[in-house]
Structure 1
Amino acid sequence: MISKREATLNYLILGVFAIIALFPLLGVLTSALTDPSESSASLTFPTSPHFENFLTAWNEGHFGTYMRSSVLVTVSVVVISSLLAVLAGYAFATMRFRGQSVLFYILLLGLMVPSEALIIPLYYDLRGVGLTDTYWALIFPQVAQSLAFCTFWMRSFFRGIPTSLIEAAKLDGATRWSVLWRILVPISRPALLTMAMLVFMWTWNEFLMPLVMITSENLRTAPLGLAFFQGQHTSQFSLLAAGATIVAAPVVIVYLFLQRHFIAGMLAGAVK
């Protein structure tokens, strides 16, 4: 049992690390609220909140268009990856078929190969079939990148479910399809939401793929749009900070809504 002194020391250490992690975010937020005439590259505190910076950055940076593109791509990647991962993870965890182990290890190669090593041949492949400068050029590759991790994640969770539960359902006449969607998927909600949140974060923050695949301004994602916005406002630090806050806000909001499930899913994975 942890003593009161140990608990106090743990909270103190965690508090120090929390302050270190939150300090840069606080600096960006305070800079975003500073009057443009008073902003600088160093940490600044506004004399009065200047919320107009967000509206100015939104309009001048065309973030409405960029955010729409990011939402479309990110939601598509999360939905497709989650669906395929549930099916593949269920197959690898509960079924036995020839070449299962080999196929699974081949799939895991996707965790070991960095996307930077594949981006150039991938560009020429997609250009050859006419998919560059489309949303599909962002959705398909990122689904493929996420699928290895997602399948491994769901396979690990499904393998941790007692086989007696599955066998009991089969004795009651449930098919494999019913076992998956009526029994396993409902109880895997924390793991699914944790996986979906991680994929959401990775896809939303992806920069290299849109930079290489997209040339049309109306198809740019939020991080790519922020880079172009930065090039146009190199010395307007308050507007840059406001733009960065706008781009980061969806990830923060999603985490705040799903943090309970996220922590539960991570703890479940740690226990297993």
Structure 2
Amino acid sequence: MTAIARLRDTAPRTVLLTAAALFSVFPLLSMFSAALQPQGTAPAGISFPLHPQWHNFVDAWNVANITTLVQSSAILVLGVVPAAMLISSMAAYAIAQLRIPLGNVFFLLLLLGLTLPYEIVVVPLYYQMQSMGLLNSRLGLILPLIGLNMPFAVFWMRTHFQSVPAELSESSSIDGAGPWQAFRHIQMPLAVPALASLGVLMFLSTWNQFLLAIVLIDDPTKRTMAGALQGFVGAHSTDVVLLNAGALLIMAPTILVFLLFQKFFIRAMLAGAVKG
């Protein structure tokens, strides 16, 4: 194949990928340029000033109390993500590999949970947490988030365990390993890419949780960073510069986590595409 033919074949894909990248980066560039303008101004479009006001990020950090919000979000993520990953992995392993009785029925019931938006369950959750005395507490947000993550997490991990050859479990049982030993020493090491990508998705979902955070928790210092953004917007909605700087600081951890773990996410996607 000549160079011209290769260029003709790859040009459409390159153009589409470039357009998608620009479409995704443009809002971030607009926010970044606005955050560097003098406070109290009304930035328009993308225009980087000759004298960038880098202290805007420091001011936004202090005004929005980002340090406390990072600690609160980290506690919520550490409470939700590991527990949801472990429970969903065990449930998916039981359904896909152990073939438990009525496993497919349980899986279909879990799939129904994917059709329920948070807006429908938020009112029952509020009264349930109130009856349990867990309103305005991090535990009252952690428990609902673990449950709401289960349908997608079990679906994700079940897809992986179905792609693992059943002969591995059979050979381990011949060697005397029980289901728990096979799960720990054989299945879980093979599931690292799927678990890592699932962890990234649940991290993003928990870190950016907004609706449940503002409904179930009254104290802004106990909410997620996204949930506390509402108070920042209400107090500084007229200062567009500080608002953009605060929003970028709140988004920065999610962007960083995705960049660090994107190889696991892509590996899981490709494995599912090849084996599915």
Partner of 2:64: 61
How much is the aligned-residue C-alpha RMSD, in angstroms? Answer: 1.6
Q: Which TM-score applies when normalising by structure 1?
A: 0.95
Partner of 2:252: 249
Partner of 1:103: 106
Cα distance between partner residues in 1 of 2:209 and 2:71: 15
Task: Give the stretch that moved more between structures: 174-183 or 249-258.
Answer: 174-183
Matched, 1:124 2:124: no
Percent identity between matched residues is 36
Which one of the candidate residues 235, 241, 249 is aligned to 1:232? 235
| Secondary structure of 2:176 counterpart | coil
Deviation at residue 41 of structure 1 after TM alignment: 5.2
Deviation at residue 35 of structure 1 after TM alignment: 2.2
| Secondary structure of 2:113 counterpart | helix
Alignment of 1:80-99 (within 5 A): 80-99=83-102
Deviation at residue 97 of structure 1 after TM alignment: 3.0
Cα distance between partner residues in 1 of 2:109 and 2:223: 33
Count of matched residue pairs: 272
Partner of 1:79: 82
Runs (4 or more) in structure 1 with deviation over 4 Å come to: none
The answer for unaligned runs of 5 or more in structure 1 is: none
Task: Give the stretch that moved more between structures: 83-92 or 173-182.
Answer: 173-182
Which one of the candidate residues 31, 34, 44 is aligned to 1:28? 31
Cα distance between partner residues in 1 of 2:165 and 2:7: 37
Matched, 1:192 2:195: yes
Cα distance between partner residues in 2 of 1:3 and 1:45: 38
Distance 1:164 1:89, change over 3 A: same
Which one of the candidate residues 13, 16, 20 is aligned to 1:13? 16
Q: For the Cα contact (< 8 Å) 1:34–1:47, is it kept in 2?
A: no
Cα distance between partner residues in 2 of 1:49 and 1:176: 60
Cα distance between partner residues in 2 of 1:249 and 1:56: 16
Residues 173-227 of structure 1 deviation map (CA, whole Å, 9 limit, x = unaligned) = 2221111111111111111111111111111111110111111232122112211
Deviation at residue 167 of structure 1 after TM alignment: 1.5
Cα distance between partner residues in 2 of 1:41 and 1:208: 30
Deviation at residue 252 of structure 1 after TM alignment: 0.6
Deviation at residue 42 of structure 1 after TM alignment: 4.2
Deviation at residue 32 of structure 1 after TM alignment: 1.5
Q: Which TM-score applies when normalising by structure 2?
A: 0.94
Deviation at residue 104 of structure 1 after TM alignment: 1.5
Deviation at residue 20 of structure 1 after TM alignment: 1.3
Distance 1:145 1:259, change over 3 A: same
Partner of 2:272: 269
Residues 17-47 of structure 1 deviation map (CA, whole Å, 9 limit, x = unaligned) = 2111110111111112222154425444222
Deviation at residue 107 of structure 1 after TM alignment: 1.6
